[in-house]
Amino acid sequence: MSRVVVIGSGIAGLIAAVEASRHHSVTLITKSNLAESNTHYAQGGIAAVSSDDDTVAEHIADTLVAGAGLCWPEAVDVLCSEGPGRINDLVALGVDFDRQGEQFARGLEAAHSHARVLHAGGDATGAGISNALVAAVRATNTEIHEHTFLVDIAIEKHATEKDAAGRSQVAGVHVFDTTGTRFIAADIVILASGGAGQLFRHTTNPAVTTGDGVAAALRAGAVLADVEFYQFHPTALAVPGSFLISEAVRGEGAVLINAAGERFMKALHPMAELAPRDIVARGIQSQMMAQGGQPVLLDATALGASFLSERFPSISAACRSYGLNWATTPIPVTPAAHYWMGGVATDDWGRTSIPGLYAVGEVASTGAHGANRLASNSLLESIVFAHRAVSNLGQPWPEDAPAARWGAQGPLLELDLTETVGRPSTQVVDRVELQTMMWDNVGLARTRTTLESTLDQIHAWRPADPAHRLFPDWEDANLLLLAQALTESALARHESRGGHYRLDYPETNPALARPLTIARKV
Ligand SMILES: Cc1cc2nc3c(=O)[nH]c(=O)nc-3n(C[C@H](O)[C@H](O)[C@H](O)COP(=O)(O)OP(=O)(O)OC[C@H]3O[C@@H](n4cnc5c(N)ncnc54)[C@H](O)[C@@H]3O)c2cc1C
């Protein structure tokens, strides 16, 4: 029996805790309440083959196309072939997917060759999954610590039976709560702390999404991969705290119009509003720049009030809560940071480059999404790899985990952390200024000049003094570090591919179809 600490209570952390608690002593740490996570807000659903007219081979092919030449094929194979089994696990844990007769109801989403997206409560899939898994974890003997913040991952260096090479390995975690900072010893840490949408001024992600786990892993010495690839969703409601307006709304016939009332997407792509996500997002952004930063409008009025409230109950409720009636009036929308393809590099069992440290869910870079994620594959990735990580507990840690994915050359970029940690200089970072700069310079379209000026500003900031930090200060320190990692990686990738678009390198370069890795300089 191992002492396992799980960080995060989205789908990945909850599955990991529920499954690990069957054989191990588990402590679950989460920085807000158990139900607060990206998972809770997921709308469209979870992709998996569940019908005779669909095949795993086709799900694999669709995922590889979306990944723009950068997927790790073994990870994609695992994702799509093990997905249906993990859906059965979710059902056994109480997730009530919508049905049509005996079968799962299946939605069709962009770039899927078949209708294979399972959903719950219409567009409330994430809440359905989160509520069932929160109840499931509470029914186990997992020790749960809510409102407790992962600060750092502790490592120690000694040879063990399982790692004769004597590499540094996990010893526990430093956490922060109302009583201050304390240490929790562990044999295994499973990081499931999600992405970092809060790096950008516009995001569909909730406030907890500040990349703390990725930053802690980087400080501990873990290798990160693909961090330059961020997916920007074209349509979030342009209100404080943004709210995702699902692609399915455009799929049903809603159109985008500019301040002059013109449908601008028709001139930009033959598929107009249903062009690939990155093209629609960039189309909206250039309209916004041309109209002084004003959001564009999504016109769903032709769909009718009763259809909108039945098909999109959550979005209808969100519009109402902001005083908007989308059945009668077009609503303001903007692109927004949505999903991080990059993260802590793992192998196909969730193992990172630090023995004892697993990373699962959005915090990880398994290679399953490559340079761009296929819609509804992220909830699937979370359950497939959380299950795999738990089933791997107790196994020896191979010396090359997870390096097989990027070959023998080791990390390509090294970050000098002394530049952002403990630097005596200048000004304490301002979150809104950082988010605005990242949105403007490292968002939908990047150039060498904007990336370099961003790095200059990042180097002119420092985090607050660790001795006086509260939750938001720890988060700001992490956001500053990740802004540096993302910007340096974006600067180093001299091409456009998937979620990374360089105005100065607009083409995809086949010679660069490999992951870019980054680690702490030692
Ligand atoms: C609006 C929206 C709609 C989406 N729709 C879909 C969809 O339809 N289909 C799909 O597949 N994907 C969708 N996604 C993406 C998907 O929801 C996420 O990728 C997925 O839920 C990630 O799960 P996770 O468990 O890895 O992380 P999360 O669900 O983000 O959970 C992370 C957890 O870690 C905790 N945490 C973070 N930092 C710390 C810290 N320092 N200390 C302690 N705890 C910490 C958080 O509080 C949270 O509980 C959507 C995302 C959003 C935002």
Q: Is the CB of 10 under 6 A from ligand 1?
A: yes
Closest-CA residue to 18 (of 351, 366, 394, 389): 389
Instruction: Annotate 115-169 with DSSP letters as a single string.
Output: --EE-STTT-HHHHHHHHHHHHHHTS--EEE-S-EEEEEEEEE---SS-TT--EE
Please measure the distance between the N-terminal and C-terminal CA atoms of the chain and give it in whole angstroms: 34
Instruction: Express each pLDDT in 394-415 by its tens digit.
Output: 999 988 888 877 766 666 788 8
Question: CB of 193 closer than 6 A to ligand 1?
Answer: yes
Alpha helices (runs of H) in 21-72, residue ranges in sequence order: 38-41, 56-66
Instruction: Name the residue of 39, 117, 376 to mutate for ligand 1: max ligand atoms within 8 A of Cβ.
Output: 39
Distance CA 331, CA 99 (A): 31
In this prediction, residue 7 has a pLDDT band, given cuts at 50, 70 and 90, of very high
Distance (Å, whole) CA 374 – CA 388: 21
Residue 455 above 60 pLDDT?
yes
CATH of the domain spanning 407-520, picked from 3.30.1330.10, 3.30.70.890, 1.20.1260.10, 1.20.58.100: 1.20.58.100
Length of the chain: 522
Q: What is the pLDDT of residues 341-400, one digit of tens each?
A: 999 999 999 999 999 999 999 999 999 999 999 989 999 999 999 999 999 999 999 888
Residue 246 has pLDDT above 90, yes or no: no
* DSSP assignment string, 435-488: HHHHHHHHSSSB-HHHHHHHHHHHHHEEPPPGGG--HHHHHHHHHHHHHHHHHH
What average pLDDT score do residues 39-48 get? 94
Average pLDDT in the 209-224 region? 96
pLDDT digits (tens, 9 = 90+) for 484-495: 999 999 999 999
Read off the tokens for 307.
Answer: 């259809």
Instruction: Average the pLDDT over 90-101 and give the result.
Output: 96
39 lines ligand 1 (CB under 6 A): yes
φ and ψ at residue 137, rounded to 5 degrees: -70, -35
**Does residue 426 carry a pLDDT above 90?**
no
**For residue 130, which atom of ligand 1 is closest to its CA?**
29
CA–CA distance, 470 with 480 (Å, rounded to integer)? 16
Closest Cα to atom 51 of ligand 1 = 42
Average pLDDT of the residues in 132-153: 98
Confidence (pLDDT) at 109: 81
Would you list the domain boundaries of the chain?
Answer: 237-336, 407-520
Ligand 1 pocket check for 366: Cβ under 6 Å: no
Q: Which residue's C-alpha comes closest to atom 49 of ligand 1? A: 9
Q: What is the mean pLDDT of residues 272-288?
A: 89
Residue 300 identity: A
Whether pLDDT at 162 is above 60? no
* Phi/psi of residue 99, nearest 5 degrees: -125, 155
Ligand 1 atom showing the smallest separation from residue 379 Cα: 11
Q: Return the sign of the alpha-carbon dihedral for residues 510, 515, 521, 522.
A: negative
pLDDT at 276: 77
Q: Is the CB of 212 under 6 A from ligand 1?
A: yes
Concatenated DSSP letters for 406-431? Answer: T-TT--SEEE-GGGTSS---SEEP-H
pLDDT (0 to 100) of residue 166:
66
Q: What is the mean pLDDT of residues 176-202?
A: 96
Nearest to 16 by CA among 214, 230, 194: 194
pLDDT band at 308 (very low <50, low <70, confident <90, very high): very high
Instruction: Provide mean pLDDT across the span 72-87.
Output: 98
Q: Which one has a higher pLDDT value, 405 or 80?
A: 80
On the 0-12 / 13-18 / 19+ scale of CB atoms within 10 A, 61 is middle
**pLDDT for residue 311:** 83
Q: Is the CB of 109 under 6 A from ligand 1?
A: no
Mutation pick for ligand 1 pocket among 9, 36, 38, 374 (CB with most ligand atoms within 8 Å): 38
- Annotated active-site residue 320? The verdict is no
Model confidence pLDDT, tens digit, residues 111-141: 889 999 999 988 889 999 999 999 999 999 9
What is the C-alpha to C-alpha distance for residues 500 and 69, in angstroms, rounded to an integer? 13
Burial of residue 464 (number of CB atoms within 10 Å: 0-12, 13-18, 19+): middle
Count Cβ atoms within 10 A of the Cβ of residue 307 and give its class: 0-12 exposed, 13-18 middle, 19 or more buried: middle
What 396-399 contacts at long range (C-beta under 8 Å, 24+ apart), as own/partner pairs, is 396/162, 396/163, 397/162, 397/163, 397/169, 397/351, 397/355, 397/356, 398/347, 398/351, 399/165, 399/167
Q: Could you tell me which of 193, 225, 232 has the C-alpha nearest to residue 439?
A: 232
The catalytic position among 106, 219, 277, 446 is: 277
The closest alpha carbon to 202, from 296, 63, 317, 86, belongs to 296
Q: Domain 237-336 - what CATH class?
A: alpha beta
398 Cβ neighbours under 8 A, 6+ residues apart: 347, 351
pLDDT for 271: 86
Rg (CA), the chain: 22
Q: What is the 3-state secondary structure (H, E, C) of 294-330?
A: CCEEEECHHHCHHHHHHHCHHHHHHHHHCCCCCCCCC
419 or 250, higher pLDDT: 250
In the chain, what percentage of residues exceed pLDDT 90? 82
Strand locations in 238-308 (E): 243-244, 255-257, 296-299
Cα 99 to middle of ligand 1, angstroms: 25
Q: How far is the CA of 122 from the centre of ligand 1 (A)?
A: 19
CA 329 – ligand 1 centroid, Å: 31
Chain centroid offset of residue 403 CA: 21
Of the ranges 115-129, 133-147, 167-181, 261-275, the best mean pLDDT one: 133-147
Report how far ligand 1's centroid is from the alpha carbon of 13 (Å): 10
Nearest ligand 1 atom to the CA of 29 is 43
pLDDT at 59 exceeding the cut of 80? yes
Residues 63 and 114 sit within 8 Å (Cβ to Cβ):
no
420's tokens: 């952002």
Reduced to 3 states (helix: H, G, I; strand: E, B; else coil), residue 368 is coil
Asked if residue 231 has its Cβ within 6 Å of ligand 1, the reply is no
Closest CA to 429 of 387, 404, 381, 461: 461
